[in-house]
Amino acid sequence: MNLTKNRRPVRLTLLALGGFILLGGPLHGFVNEAISLALEAATPYVEQGFEVREDNWSGEVEPGKPLLIRHQLFRGNEYWFWAGTSWPGATIKVDIFDNEGNSVGLESFAKDSFAGVRCLPQKTATYFIRVVASYEKEREGLTAAERGANDPVDGVGEFSGSLDWGLVYGYR
Amino acid sequence: MSARPLLSLFLFRIAFPVLALCAALTGKLEAEIDPAAPERIDLTNFPGELVDKVVVPIPAEIFAVLDKLDEPDWNSGIELPAESGAGRDRAILALTFGSLVGEGFIAVQAKNPDEIQKIGRRVLSLSESLGLSGAVRPHSLAIVEAAGKSDWAKVRDELDATQQTVRTTMERLRDDELSGLVSLGGWLRGTNVVTSFISNSFSEDKAELLNQPGLLAHFRSMLGSMKGPSGKTPQIRAISTGLARLEAIINQSAAIGEEDVNQLREISRAMLDEYYFVKP
């Protein structure tokens, strides 16, 4: 994790943490903020009967560099994949493709630090989920909310060149 | 023919494709709102990074589909072996732990609170042998409590969380190999029970659930890269050979046939006999 980066407002973090606890996530010594945001995006879908998996994918990536994740899906289930990034002002997108590279996403959304894509697999096979985290704003262009609750001290909150990302999924 | 297979046939051959077509048309309309979403990508020349991590589906994901296709007698699939944790190799304990969690998913599908509670307690006992009881105890208690309340979704969540907690703890202790074996144990127990049900009442739609070449390749690679004495035990070698046989059957033809399923069932059972259904 990048320890020098600016943090989102406390309210959002608490909300994400609440969602994480509600979803039965394990509480460890730290909270992966990107995963917490992805789980926050998943929360409304849990009420629709989606079971969200505990296992997930996360890491850091250069802005704009696409990530490709392989995953086994089963025909007969419906899936949602939710992605998140916690860097203030960064955005994230998620798409899904079959093993020939054709888009199979049926519905999607991307709003700032959250994104999601829904899929109804036409065959039981390995699918590919593409995640792209982007960051274009200069720090000066950020709103107070994006900068966080407090102004950072010198050197803290400067963009280090990589963004955190997290991806979770649910099925029903 | 009873009504259930007809309903399954309708769902898989007619309703799902029609729904998918409608949804695809809707999806295309929505894609126009987001012109950056590509219709196709070149997987052979992907301009980015392929993420190494493989998330193994839990048995409940496959069971959910099987329940939509048929009415399996999940109670007949529960087969909790005698307890034999003490003094065993840690790799075998990790595999057994995963399979025990897999057993829990079968018992949840059967909505059998007594068996779930037994499995919840057994999970805790096995975690003591692995030195992880502190991390597992809250989940074990939650499994027993939720089973008592017939809260099946909660039991499923806790089983998934138990496995994840154990794997995360092992990874923190730099026991990544053991973490992977937990997933393999769960997958193997789930696959074996699924092959049994499909053998009893074969259909191509059900057999397609076993088309998992990517996961088989992942497990084979994982066992092949195991370092230390655990990777050379007769049990791990037998499981490695079993995975190669499963992979050969799945990769040999486009569609998995009835005889293939029978073989997959026998091979997966023999693999479980190496460490899980072993006689005390």
**Mean pLDDT of chain B, nearest integer:** 88
Residue B238 has pLDDT above 90, yes or no: yes
Residue A11 has pLDDT above 50, yes or no: no
Q: Which residues of B touch A24 (CB under 8 A)?
A: 154, 157-158, 160-161
Find the CB nearest B58 among A53, A56, A101.
A53
Kindly state whether B35 is in contact with chain A, defined as any CB-CB distance less than 8 angstroms.
no
What number is the average pLDDT over the span A28-37? 80
Boundaries of every domain in chain A: 33-137+161-171
Q: Helices (DSSP H) in chain A: which residue ranges?
A: 10-22, 33-46, 144-147
CB contact under 8 A, A51 and B158: no
CB contact under 8 A, A74 and B61: yes
Query: In this predicted model, what pLDDT tens digit does every residue of B47-80 receive, in sequence order?
Result: 999 999 999 999 999 999 999 999 999 999 999 9
One-character DSSP codes across A97-122: E-TTSBB---EEEEETTEEEEEE--S
Give the gap in angstroms from C-alpha B280 to the nearest C-alpha of chain A.
Answer: 33
pTM: 0.84
Q: Which residues of A touch B53 (CB under 8 A)?
A: 57, 69
Residue A157 has pLDDT above 50, yes or no: yes
Q: Hunting for tokens 């959250």 — which residue is that? A: A114
Residue that wins the pLDDT comparison between A4 and B52: B52
- Residue B88 pLDDT level (bands cut at 50, 70, 90): confident
Protein fold of A33-137+161-171 = Jelly Rolls (2.60.120)
Residue B17 has pLDDT above 60, yes or no: no
User: Within the 138-157 window of chain A, which residues sit less than 8 Å (CB to CB) from chain B?
Assistant: none
What number is the average pLDDT over the span B81-88? 76
**Mean pLDDT of chain A, nearest integer:** 81
Boundaries of every domain in chain B: 43-273
Instruction: Output the CA–CA distances (angstroms, integers) from residue B215 to A73, A127, B2, B53, B99, in the order listed.
Output: 11, 12, 35, 12, 16
Interface test with B, best of A28, A71, A102 (most B CBs within 10 A): A71
Residue B253 has pLDDT above 90, yes or no: no
Q: Minimal Cα distance from B57: which residue of A?
A: A72
- Residue B176 pLDDT level (bands cut at 50, 70, 90): confident
Lowest mean pLDDT among A83-97, B108-122, B168-182, B183-197: B168-182
Cβ–Cβ < 8 Å for A94, A116: yes
Query: In this predicted model, what pLDDT tens digit does every residue of B200-209 receive, in sequence order?
Result: 999 999 999 9
Find the CB nearest A125 among B43, B163, B211.
B211
Q: Hunting for tokens 């840690």 — which residue is that? A: B90
Residue in A5, A2, A16, A44 with CA at minimum distance from that of residue A113: A16
What number is the average pLDDT over the span A13-29? 43
Question: Which residues contact residue B32 at a Cβ distance below 8 angstroms, ignoring those fewer than 6 apart?
Answer: none
Instruction: Tell me what pLDDT residue B278 has.
Output: 81
CB contact under 8 A, B156 and A66: no
What number is the average pLDDT over the span B104-108? 97
Residue in B104, B91, B89, B165 with CA at minimum distance from that of residue B134: B165
Residue B33 has pLDDT above 60, yes or no: no
Q: Minimal Cα distance from B139: which residue of A?
A: A26
- Residue B161 pLDDT level (bands cut at 50, 70, 90): very high
Q: Which residues of B touch A59 (CB under 8 A)?
A: 51
Instruction: Tell me what pLDDT residue B94 has.
Output: 95
